[in-house]
Amino acid sequence: MPGEKNKQEKRARRKKRRFSFFRLISLLFIIFITAFALGVGINLFLQPTGQGRDMDKILSDTESFAFRRIKRALFIKDAVNDKIREKNVIHIEEMPRDLIHAVVAVEDSRFFSHPGVDFTAIGRATIVNLEAGGIEEGGSTITQQLVKNLFLSSEQTFGRKLEEVLLALDIEAVYEKEEILELYLNTIYFGSNFYGVNEAALGYFGKSPKDLTLEESALLAGLPNAPSVYSPYVNPELALKRQHIVLDAMEKNGYIIASTAKKAKDTALHFAR
């Protein structure tokens, strides 16, 4: 029920997440070992032999590689702030609850209960993908998506995925859940060259985020999954189908009731162009 969901969110907001000394040391140790393995392992063992490798340069590059990642983990808030476009930042208090609920329902329904990495979802996705013989379902959380969007490339390697997991845990340790949602919604790509919810709300509906309706919020929440495919300016029919999926997810997770979902599906959308 919506009331119970709100209680869960309030409990999550009250729960403070701080680094313990042990966790900080452990995190730095793991990141250093990872950086060393990736940097030294690649540079020392995958380089062609007999071609006069410049070992000083290799070691220098490796130290820089490791230092950048350790610095980013240790000063994660500074690293995040360096990536934020201040002029477009909309605080979460200015976003409708329907938008927050829509994003959580469709992207990461266990967002308020996991520590940044949802091992249950990863296990479920692994089984689904094995049965399908391909990638049918992902296991990334909203926090992991934020990390990927801010810091990492899209390459599918073990090292990149490990760094994504470590940084997600790092972010969850120093940010509250709603702060993470705020960062996510201000940086995610919504298609049609709109980055962040402010640009998306203005670009698609000609209004600020605080004025979005339920049906508009549901449409926007569905776009980040495949923004170039679901943009209503590219594929209006697919955008509408995706919106219905979001509304169904909101109903399933107790944010809205069936009649509210049906009414939103039946409400015509009016776009800015």
State how many domains the chain has.
1
Task: Say how far apart CA 9 and CA 14 lie, in whole Å.
Answer: 9
**Within-domain flag for 57:** yes
**Within-domain flag for 165:** no
pLDDT digit string, tens, across residues 136-184: 455 689 999 999 999 987 776 777 778 888 889 889 989 999 999 999 9
Task: Say how far apart CA 251 and CA 136 lie, in whole Å.
Answer: 23
pLDDT digit string, tens, across residues 11-66: 555 554 444 444 555 555 555 555 555 544 444 444 444 444 554 554 455 446 55
pLDDT surpasses 60 at 216: yes
pLDDT surpasses 90 at 76: no
**Within-domain flag for 114:** no
**Within-domain flag for 34:** yes
pLDDT digit string, tens, across residues 101-137: 999 999 999 999 998 988 877 777 667 556 656 544 5
Contacts of 65 (CB under 8 A, 6+ apart): 35, 38, 39
Closest CA to 145 of 241, 230, 223: 223
pLDDT digit string, tens, across residues 236-268: 999 999 999 999 999 999 999 999 999 999 999
SS3 99: helix
**Within-domain flag for 199:** no
Task: Say how far apart CA 147 and CA 166 lie, in whole Å.
Answer: 10
Q: Identify the DSSP state of 188.
A: S
Task: Say how far apart CA 177 and CA 270 lie, in whole Å.
Answer: 32
**Within-domain flag for 190:** no
User: Which tokens belong to 211?
Assistant: 């004025």
Closest CA to 34 of 137, 162, 142: 162
**Within-domain flag for 33:** yes
44: containing domain: 18-74
**Within-domain flag for 24:** yes
